């Protein structure tokens, strides 16, 4: 049971590190991404206007998929099993994703909210299932 909890916690921390790290890398290497990201953060802080860029949103969906698979794999690896830890981690990520939806609801199109939150659980589970073949 301790390994499952450690797997979930490690997977969640890995997700956060990979997500924010990839955002920082993209902001540094893709000038348009960084400018758009800062405009979004300013709109969240000050309630200003913001128009979402489809390329940035699609990039976030791909990033979310990749990071969720990696974190699910790590949770399964640490837990020593590939069912419960990735599933619980997926639900934890889904809860955080829904919090993000609530915060960014007026700034981002609904298709993004639906797709981004819909991928979190299945991609995390898929990452856990990859553990058996590795």
Cα gap 112→25, rounded to integer Å = 22
Cα gap 122→103, rounded to integer Å = 23
- CB neighbours (10 Å) of residue 36? 20
Angle, CA 123 vertex, CA 121 and CA 129 arms, to 5°: 105
Cα gap 96→61, rounded to integer Å = 15
Q: Are 15 and 73 in contact (CB under 8 A)?
A: no
Cα gap 103→22, rounded to integer Å = 21
Write the pLDDT tens digit of every residue in 52-108: 778 888 999 999 999 999 999 999 999 988 789 999 999 999 999 999 889 888 878
Write out the residue range of the structural domain in which residue 84 sits.
2-133
Q: What is the pTM (predicted TM-score) of this model? A: 0.86
In 24-83, beta strands by DSSP E: none
Domain count, the chain: 1
Write the pLDDT tens digit of every residue in 20-40: 999 889 888 887 776 666 677
């Amino acid at each position: 049971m301790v390994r499952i909890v450690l797997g979930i916690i490690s997977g969640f921390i890995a997700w956060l590190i990979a997500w924010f790290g990839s955002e920082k890398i993209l902001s540094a290497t893709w000038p348009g991404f960084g400018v758009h990201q800062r405009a979004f953060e300013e709109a969240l802080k000050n309630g200003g206007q913001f128009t979402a860029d489809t390329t940035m949103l699609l990039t976030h969906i791909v990033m979310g998929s990749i990071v969720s698979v990696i974190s699910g794999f790590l949770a399964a690896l640490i837990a020593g099993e590939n069912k419960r830890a990735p599933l619980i981690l997926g639900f934890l990520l889904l809860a955080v994703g829904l919090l993000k939806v609530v915060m960014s609801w007026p700034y981002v199109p609904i298709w993004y909210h639906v797709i981004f939150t819909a991928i979190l659980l299945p991609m995390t589970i898929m990452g856990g299932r990859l553990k058996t073949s590795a």
